[in-house]
Amino acid sequence: MSDSSLRDLYQDIILDHSRHPRHFGPMDDATHSAKGHNPLCGDRATIFLKVDDQDRIQDVSFEGRGCAISVASASLMTEMLKGRTTAEAKTLMGGFLHMVKGDEVQDLPADDRDQLEVMAGVSAFPMRVKCATLAWHAMNAALDGKDTSATE
């Protein structure tokens, strides 16, 4: 597949997640939650997690508003987190942050890298990195028990 075709595919995936976000809406029985806000562009996200006594994320959702990159990233994140342990979620977050900043990612399984690759192009637009990472930082704050507004 050519670079152009791959870029088009990734753009289509981002637009689909933005227009039809997965796991969107509040969660009444969340055990963890946190809010994120990017004051530079106004993007906002609240992340809800239901973590069981085995430290596994049983359910995850988000709500908020923002640009296509912000919403797509949050949607992709929720799809990837459900069923994972909190340690796996933190590893995934670390890999994602490196990827969108243009760094090489080695500590993620190939399947995870492949799924996150759709957001790697954001690294070419430094102002958009904050949009892509907003929900991830809020998820991290929720896992850390910081149920406050995380500003990215």
Domains of the chain, by residue range, sit at 3-151
Whole-number average pLDDT of the chain? 87
Q: Residue 134 pLDDT more than 90? A: yes
Give per-residue pLDDT as tens, 20-48.
999 999 999 999 999 999 888 889 999 99
Q: Determine the CATH number of domain 3-151.
A: 3.90.1010.10
Residue 3 CA to residue 96 CA, distance in Å, equals: 21
* pTM across the whole model: 0.88
Q: Residue 67 pLDDT more than 70? A: yes
pLDDT of 84: 97
Tell me if 44 sits within 8 A of 56, measured CB to CB: no
pLDDT of 10: 59
Q: Taking residues 134-146, what's their average pLDDT?
A: 92
